[in-house]
Structure 1
């Protein structure tokens, strides 16, 4: 070996010693339920509107017809409109609380899940189904954001920290786990 080659090797070693050690990462694969997109949620909502209309027609309209009160063309503060709204919101709250899905969601194979806990509390449901749904129904473009968010969340989902997922469909995700400097255990994770 010549002196020139020895100097290059020494320079390479010096450079390698100055370079900080890169932490070792481990890639872990896991499966999570696939979020339900705009169109499947839209069709489930249309089915739910049919169910609510049928419930209102079966439960409320006959009573108002017997009493002789008007049911068409009434203002929002009329008794018929108030009872119809109670059935509408009650349907969504009670079905989601007890089954985590409405009839439309059952037919489409999707369900509501909380992003923070395993259970849907009454407060979460009231925020999601009353306040959030009122905003989404009143301002339609706000409901369209379901198609553009990573977890397919609408405004009502953001308010309640929930999302809607497919029951039988999963997606594969990768998780990077950073090992500790001494090589014992994993301490930092990040999904990508």
Structure 2
């Protein structure tokens, strides 16, 4: 009995020590594994290229800075019906730009207009079919009595000093927002080629005889 009692503690002590050492080793290993996992997670966090690409793709719908500049954008103040937007659009890129349309919350319709020969030696204003091509290093001048952006069926009066937001649309799907300040302007009472909508306005007395009024 005494021999068993003497040997029992000797056999038990090494076993507990070995277990303690194994537990410490496992704990240390778990800590290293956790660090490795954390490191992998941190390294992979910036990896979602899709999210970044989506953000870039969304922003890329706007014309990149430095490719187009607009000088002195302005609009003619008007109480109702329609008005014109003017300015100089410069193509500062190394490629041809194709302006195909415009939009504005200030009007239900926006069109690109040009001056054309009516066949009798006089000129009239009409929608520019196909839009305007702007060559590299060249500019498109939008002026009263010449090419311009026409805002039709105004949603509210445009007062002098008001900022009118207009978005230019290009054939490649890019857009360019600009703010045109409204100004008083009495000139450029052009004659327009009337469409059905404008002719109905003229007949009802809402427009002038050509259906567009001045702008």
TM-score of the alignment, normalized to the shorter chain, above 0.5: no
TM range (shorter): under 0.3
Greater percentage in strand: 2
Give the TM-score normalised by structure 1: 0.27
Structure with the bigger RCO (C-alpha within 8 Å, sep 6+) is 1
Task: Choose 1 or 2 for highest CA Rg.
Answer: 2
